[in-house]
A and B are shown apart, each in its own frame.
Chain A
Amino acid sequence: MIVTLIDHGAGNVASVERALLRISVESIRAATPEPIANATALLLPGVGHFSALIRALDEKSLRRPLLEAIGRGIPFLGICLGLQALYASSDEAPDLPGLGILPGRVSALPLTVKLPHMGWNQIRASTKSSLLRDVPLDAYFYFAHSFAAPRATTSTAATCAHGVEFTAVVEQGNIFATQFHPEKSGAAGALLLRNFVSLAA
């Protein structure tokens, strides 16, 4: 199993690479359409601004091969912005279309709490989550974001709360995503990455 990391230039690809290496999983970087079209498992990392990720995907013509690969059932894991990018749009860049795989709009967390939502928080998982298999219920994960996706009935596998409840883990068929950073979340994050790889194998 080789995980193809989408290297759009606005992600922390090296951190994800190191995290996969620690669990003995091979990865390659892809910055062009062809390796994405031929991938057997895809991972979309992302930090920073929604527009930086979406623009980079479009400028490098990666949107179409990515959507086609996901459409064919290739296992996909989005991290942080890689989760937000799945939705139709984001208030962080209202004019840019997201990937639109999931309905709804990513919006800003409320100003009643300190932002960014930065640090370790716990999540509330639904019982059927396969990404969180064997992960302790009280495990902490590392978050660093100011925008978040709405809670949904079908695609949300876990939620977190910071001022408001939001989607922390997405699971829908072959599509997986986390708002937190498993690559920075110690042993719990490593277990989640291992679960993704075994689901993809």
Chain B
Amino acid sequence: MTLARRIIPCLDTDGARVVKGVNFVGLRDAGDPAELAARYNAEGADELIVLDIAASRDRRPTFLETIRRVAAELAIPLTAGGGIRTLEDARAVVRAGADKITVNTAAVEEPELISRLSGEFGAQAVVLAIDAKRETTSWDVRIRGGRDSAHLDAIGWARKGVELGAGEILLTSVDRDGTQSGFDVPLTAAISRAVSVPVIASGGAKLPEDFLQVFSEGEADAALAASIFHDDTQSIRSLKQFLSQSGIPVRFPC
């Protein structure tokens, strides 16, 4: 009996469609969220994350409808986020079918939001997303889609977020995101050792070896990827077979 390391596909959406781009720019269409969700559910994804990267107020009803369509396809947990600024935003996302909510910029601007969400939904439902950019000797927290510095140390912010009630950290390397040059393993290890909650590594995934490294050396509890799964350059099943043969406990759907 060992807790399996999780493989989590991420659907970045403009509200309605899955989009992809490098370092948050140059977006192009990558498919229908519900269709991709059904595929990943069948292929053995352990969870799914759906994000509204546009997160504009007028697209909100569209995104909630997307969550409903995605949730209907899943027999695995669903995390949703992007633009959640209030308890009411979070309630709408949960009502639409999300099991967990993820917050990023709004939590930096108003840390008490984490406590309010945790109080209402439980820590297991609150995922603090941290976008981290490498400095000389540390990692800086970035907000607003990686554009601006929050002037916070990533390790300190992760600890603070957990104190406030986050039950999981979704850690994205801004330097690696979209580059397919591998996860930022030292960053992941540093955060994973600093907090008592599970850490999801994100940004830079390409090869099965990248996942192996972030699970072993990076001590990640879960690893996230988008493009390599959307493009079918990497199947979840063969990735898990590789990890299993390399001694990483993973779940195969029965």
Binding site for B on A (CB under 8 A): 12, 14-15, 18-19, 22, 47-49, 111, 114-124, 135-136, 138-140, 142, 144-146, 160-162, 181, 183-190
Give chain B residues whose Cβ lies under 8 Å from the Cβ of A121: 1-4
Interface residue B99 (Cβ < 8 Å from any Cβ of A): yes
Question: Please, could you name 23 A-B residue pairs with CB atoms under 8 Å apart, sorted by A?
Answer: A47-B122, A47-B124, A48-B122, A48-B124, A116-B124, A118-B124, A118-B198, A118-B221, A119-B3, A119-B6, A119-B221, A119-B222, A121-B1, A123-B1, A124-B1, A138-B254, A144-B99, A161-B1, A184-B76, A184-B77, A185-B76, A186-B41, A186-B75
Interface string of B1-39 (1 = CB under 8 A from A): 111111000000000000000000000000000000000
Residue-wise interface mask of B (177-204) relative to A, using a CB-CB cutoff of 8 A (1 in contact, 0 not): 0000000000000000000111000000
- In B108-122, the 8 Å CB interface with A consists of 119-122
In the complex, whether B123 has a CB less than 8 A from a CB of chain A is yes
Known: A124-B1, A144-B125. 17 other contacts (CB 8 A): A14-B95, A18-B97, A47-B121, A48-B120, A48-B122, A49-B122, A111-B196, A114-B196, A116-B197, A119-B3, A119-B198, A120-B6, A120-B251, A144-B167, A184-B99, A186-B75, A187-B75
CB closest chain-B residue, reference A183: B75
Instruction: List A contacts of B140 (CB < 8 A).
Output: none
Are the CB atoms of A162 and B3 closer together than 8 Å? yes
Tally of B interface residues using CB under 8 Å: 33
A19's partner among B41, B75, B168, B221 (CB-CB below 8 A) is B75
Q: Which B residues are in CB contact (< 8 Å) with A140?
A: 4, 251
CB distance from A134 to the nearest CB of B (A): 10
Name the distance in Å between B79's Cβ and chain A's nearest Cβ.
11
Which B positions have Cβ atoms within 8 angstroms of A? 1-6, 41, 46, 71-72, 75-77, 95, 97, 99, 119-125, 167-168, 196-198, 221-222, 251, 253-254
Chain B residue numbers with a CB within 8 Å of A189 are 75
**A12 vs B5: C-alpha distance when bound (angstroms):** 24
A182 (CB) vs chain B CBs: closest residue: B75
Are B6's CB and A114's CB within 8 A? Answer: no
Q: Within the assembled complex, what's the spacing in Å between the Cα atoms of A189 and B254?
A: 10
Q: Are the CB atoms of A114 and B197 closer together than 8 Å?
A: yes
- Residues of A near B72 (CB, < 8 A) are 18
Tell me the nearest residue of chain B to A190, going by C-beta.
B75
Contact of A122 among B1, B41, B46 (CB under 8 A): B1
For residue B101, give the distance in angstroms from its CB to the closest CB of chain A.
12
Distance between A179 CB and nearest chain B CB, rounded to angstroms:
12
- The 6 lowest CB-CB distance pairs between A and B, nearest first, are A48-B122, A140-B251, A144-B124, A120-B251, A120-B4, A116-B124
Residues of B within 8 A of A114 (CB): 196-198, 221
Q: What are the residues of chain B within 8 A of A146 when measuring CB–CB?
A: 123-124
How long is the Cα–Cα vector from A136 to B253 in the complex, in angstroms? 11
**A48 CB, nearest partner CB in chain B, Å:** 3
Specify which chain B residues have a CB less than 8 angstroms from the CB of A136 in the assembled complex: 254
Q: Once the chains bind, are B254 and A188 in contact (CB under 8 Å)? A: yes
| Beta-carbon contact of A116 and B167 below 8 Å | yes
In the complex, A183→B251 CA distance in Å? 17
Known: A15-B97, A115-B196, A186-B75. A48 touches B1 (CB 8 A): no
Q: In whole angstroms, what is the CA distance A144 to B77 when docked?
A: 10
Q: How far is the CB of A167 from chain B (nearest CB, A)?
A: 13
Instruction: Name the CB-closest residue of A to B192.
Output: A114
A139 to B1 Cα, complex, angstroms? 10
CB within 8 Å for A187 and B2 given contacts A48-B121, A114-B198:
no
